[in-house]
Amino acid sequence: MSQSGIIGAHMNKETIQEIIVVEGKNDTHRLKQFFNCETIETGGKAMDDTTLKRIIQANKMRGIIVFTDPDWPGEQIRRWVSAAVPNCKHAFIDKKKARTDKKVGIEHANKEDLIQALSTCVTFTQEKESLSWQEFLSLDLIGDSKKRYDVCDRFHIGPCNGKTCFKRLNQMQVTLQDIKETME
């Protein structure tokens, strides 16, 4: 598991070394209120090849943090970027911390929740399986969504369904023992 590059203060704002991949200009505006950072906006699900090429180049130069909205379109964008840029960093924020009565998005989160999300980035790798499907099932993380969300929160992988949780835990090389220790 890799941590983010929040590297210090500049003009009373935390500086983030990596370029943050967000969905839109409102996300950029919100982040720039609190951080000295640069973003690449995907334009939501309308992300094109030119934007994806910019993201790939940004990763080569400075690294990227994928920080999309905690909803289905945000997850879709996260998957597209992850496929093009394996081993990039990911920041997640809970839906409850990034919403209004009608909308969900990074632009609705408060400063403390944004700092928390960006300081607990994770990197997913494609290495060997660290947790078998049988071990995962033995934890009852499929049937008990509250328990699964708690594990997702403790490992900073964002709330997700059982299959995605299993995949992300393996991508982070989390073992059965690691999970049991965090559940105690």
> Could you list the pLDDT tens digit for every one of the 184 residues in the chain?
344 455 554 456 889 999 999 999 999 999 999 999 999 999 988 899 999 999 999 999 999 999 999 999 999 999 999 999 988 999 999 989 998 888 999 999 999 999 999 999 998 887 788 999 999 999 999 989 999 999 999 999 988 899 999 999 998 899 999 999 988 8
Q: What φ, ψ does residue 62 adopt, rounded to 5°?
A: -135, -10
pLDDT, position 6: 55
pLDDT, position 86: 87
User: Alpha-carbon distance 174 to 70, whole Å?
Assistant: 22
User: Alpha-carbon distance 92 to 178, whole Å?
Assistant: 20
Q: Where are the beta strands (DSSP E) in the chain?
A: 6-10, 13-22, 35-41, 64-66, 89-90, 122-123
pLDDT, position 5: 53
pLDDT, position 11: 54
Amino acid making up residue 76: Q
